[in-house]
């Protein structure tokens, strides 16, 4: 159960810092993407809900028999309550990833580099690239 306490602590720091970075980056832009910042913001509680519930239920001992998330020594949650929180956690992770990709324009940067490498119009700055083209 220590893993979930560490996950909760680390994900709290990481998610809130990513949200602050996204908000700061969006404020500096000419073409703002407020939906990306909202996506990151809404992902924070979804990412933190599962490890927080594990900490409260199992480590804190609150509501132990009524709110079990695992039964019969399963590796993944196998009760309706546990599965719901687990699915929400991964939905939050996808939202965080999509928001971060959108706010950094990573999809456009990757597409541009891919097109440059296919057409050969990219800058060749390394010695290896210069020697291979000669």
Amino acid 27: pLDDT: 92
Residue 16 burial by Cβ neighbours in a 10 Å radius (0-12, 13-18, 19+): middle
pTM of the full predicted structure?
0.77
CA–CA separation, 101 and 68 (whole Å)? 35
Instruction: Tell me the mean pLDDT in the region 29-48.
Output: 92
**pLDDT for 1-16, tens place per residue?**
688 889 899 999 999 9
8 Å CB contact between 86 and 76:
yes
Instruction: Tell me the mean pLDDT in the region 8-29.
Output: 93
Amino acid 6: pLDDT: 92
Non-local (6+) Cβ contacts of 33 within 8 A are 26, 102, 103
**pLDDT for 66-117, tens place per residue?**
667 888 877 888 888 889 999 999 999 999 999 999 999 898 889 988 888 8
């Amino acid at each position: 159960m220590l893993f979930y306490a560490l996950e909760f602590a680390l994900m709290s720091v990481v998610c809130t810092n990513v949200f602050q970075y996204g908000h700061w980056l969006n404020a500096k832009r000419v073409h703002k993407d407020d939906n990306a910042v909202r996506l990151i913001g809404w992902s924070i509680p979804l990412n933190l809900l599962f490890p927080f519930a594990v900490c409260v239920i199992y480590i804190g001992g609150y509501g132990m028999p009524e709110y079990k998330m695992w039964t019969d020594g399963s590796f993944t949650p196998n009760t309706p309550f546990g599965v719901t929180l687990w699915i929400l956690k991964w939905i939050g992770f996808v939202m965080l990833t999509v928001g971060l990709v959108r706010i950094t324009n990573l999809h456009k940067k990757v597409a541009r580099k891919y097109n440059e490498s296919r057409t050969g119009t990219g800058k060749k700055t390394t010695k290896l690239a210069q020697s291979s083209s000669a």
